[in-house]
Amino acid sequence: MAADLSQSPALPRDADGPVFREPWEAAAFAMAVRLHEQGVFTWTEWAEALAAEITAAQRRGDPDLGDTYYRHWLAALERLVGAKGVVTPAEMTARRDAWDRAVRATPHGRPIDLALGLRPEG
């Protein structure tokens, strides 16, 4: 049964259906699917974590127009893998810092090269 996409008018789409707005959204989606496939969490746990994140964001004033959905997705993913002990808070911070360095070091218009962020700043 096909989903009724008319209920989500802000959802980006092309002629074939929904698409991701940014490459990082696709990566976050793929990470959640892969972690589920590896048994890190159940779909029920995932749905509860994502729903809790969206509800918290709405309480903080998120207008829920669809453009922040994958930010909530990523926040739920980070919270869930932290709670499951997949990564430590220090590892999460180190990875975030590496991505920040990589973003700043990668020339505009090029794909982000995480290796650039793993090098110490000098």
The ranges assigned to domains in the chain are: 22-118
Work out the angle between the directed axes of helices 43-59 and 69-83 (0-180°, nearest 10).
Answer: 120
Angle at 75 between CA 114 and CA 9, to 5 degrees: 100
At residue 1, the pLDDT reads 40
Q: pTM surpassing 0.85?
A: no
Give one DSSP letter per residue of 56-67, joined into a string. Answer: HHHHTT----ST
Share above pLDDT 70 across residues of the chain, in percent, rounded to a whole number: 88
User: How many Å apart are CA 38 and CA 44, to the nearest integer?
Assistant: 15
pLDDT digits (tens, 9 = 90+) for 71-82: 999 999 999 999
pLDDT at 50 over 90: yes
At residue 65, the pLDDT reads 80
Query: Residue 114 — very low, low, confident or very high, per pLDDT cuts 50/70/90?
Result: confident
User: How many Å apart are CA 38 and CA 84, to the nearest integer?
Assistant: 13
* Out of 25-34, 76-85, 87-96, 104-113, least confident range: 104-113
